[in-house]
Amino acid sequence: MPRSTKKPAKLPLQEFIPYKLAVVANRLSQSIGSLFEKKYGIQIPEWRILMALHSCGPLAPNEVVDHTSMDKGRVSRAQRRLVELGLVSVSNDPRDGRRLVLFLTRKGAGMCAAIIPAARETEAWFLSVLPAGERRALDKALTRLLMRSQELRQTDSGN
């Protein structure tokens, strides 16, 4: 049988946009994570939960999973640590006593107030290589890609 003369398709990672997005996100996340761990004693999963509660208000653990795109196990571990640190409390939902919700404590709200300027400063430094128009275009493109990625999540879960 004759051998195929077709060359196998190549996929140089450096040209693959999902790879580039993952590398940029990982490097930025590691840098921010290192800063927050040294300065505030928290890691990225804990920071994400704090910021979700800060921006959304009280959330059930499954809502935290949705807002942060972290898996249930990671949310559960980070939630426990935040409770131990006194940054988050867990209570029954006042609207539905059967449901548990996470709340920021005063200490947690204070930490958020301290962290936000550092996060914004890191973001500004990181994006400073882009002119203002490119930053706006990047923000628009990422917003669209986030919406598209939500479609992927729905497809993956069979919805």
What pLDDT digit, counting tens, does each position of 24-56 carry?
999 998 988 888 999 999 999 999 999 999 999
CB-based contact 54:64 (threshold 8 Å): no
Higher-pLDDT residue of 53 and 2 is: 53
Q: According to the model, what pLDDT value does residue 42 have?
A: 95
Q: Mean of the pLDDT values across residues 114-120?
A: 92
3-class DSSP state for residue 58?
A: coil
The answer to whether residue 21 is domain-embedded is no
Q: Is residue 51 part of a domain?
A: yes
Our count of domains for the chain comes to 1
pLDDT at 4: 62
Residue 15 belongs to some domain of the structure: no
Print the domain residue range for 48: 28-154
Confidence band, pLDDT 50/70/90 cuts, at residue 110 = very high
What is the pLDDT, as a whole number, of residue 101?
A: 95
Tell me whether residue 76 is in a domain.
Answer: yes
- Residue 20, domain member (yes or no): no
| Domain-embedded: residue 73 | yes
Count of alpha carbons within 13 angstroms of residue 15, beta-carbon side: 3
Does residue 11 belong to any structural domain of this protein?
no
Residue 35 inside a domain? The answer is yes
Q: How confident is the model at residue 98 (pLDDT cuts 50, 70, 90)?
A: confident
User: Tell me: the pLDDT tens digits for 65-87?
Assistant: 999 999 999 999 999 999 999 99
Q: What is the DSSP letter of 87?
A: S
Domain of residue 63, CATH code:
1.10.10.10
Q: Within 13 Å and on the Cβ side, how many CA atoms surround 69?
A: 7
Q: Please give the Cα distance from 65 to 67 (Å, whole number).
A: 6
